[in-house]
Amino acid sequence: MIKNEISFRVRYAETDRMGFVYYGNYAAYLEMGRVELLRSVGMSYRALEDQGVLLPVRDFSIQYRQAALYDDLLTLETSMTELPETRIHFTYVLRNDVGLLLTTADTTLIFVDQNTSRPIRCPNALYSLLAPFFTN
């Protein structure tokens, strides 16, 4: 299992007329979480893409428990619980600065070869960085 945590402030642009973070804007937060988790094991997602491997999201579900508000300092915990084969799965827990649970979510992404637009297995370069975390 791999866990990573990031903190960031809610931007004005992310709020909506209700004064809450717009429900679609959490997707960008989750993306930051998984990108930083990958960076923490030594993999730049940008470099992966530059090598011709895309990671489009295949499935996404999210449960909104409490609203995130403007200027809130949020903490996002991102976890990878399985070594990826053809899919890569992340789960997320978002809390505000007093530890209140705001949102839980999970995403499944696939690996795609940019040239052929076809699904591929997890590239070796990434797999070998992740594997040590899943031995026991």
Which residues of the shown chain bind a second copy in the complex (CB under 8 A)? 9, 11-20, 22-28, 31-32, 35, 44-46, 49, 54, 56-64, 67, 70-71
Q: For a second copy, which is the closer residue by CB, 11 or 134?
A: 11
* Residue pointed to by tokens 């931007």: 11
Q: For a second copy, which is the closer residue by CB, 18 or 125?
A: 18
In this structure, are residues 12 and 20 in contact, taking their beta carbons and an 8 Å threshold?
no
Name residue 133's amino acid. Answer: F
What does the angle CA 111 – CA 46 – CA 70 come to, to the nearest 5 degrees? 100
In whole angstroms, the minimum distance from the beta carbon of 114 to a second copy comes to 8
- 48: its two tokens: 């992966």
In whole angstroms, the minimum distance from the beta carbon of 107 to a second copy comes to 8
Nearest to 23 by CA among 62, 78, 75: 62
In whole angstroms, the minimum distance from the beta carbon of 136 to a second copy comes to 31
Q: For a second copy, which is the closer residue by CB, 1 or 18?
A: 18
3-state secondary structure of 15: strand
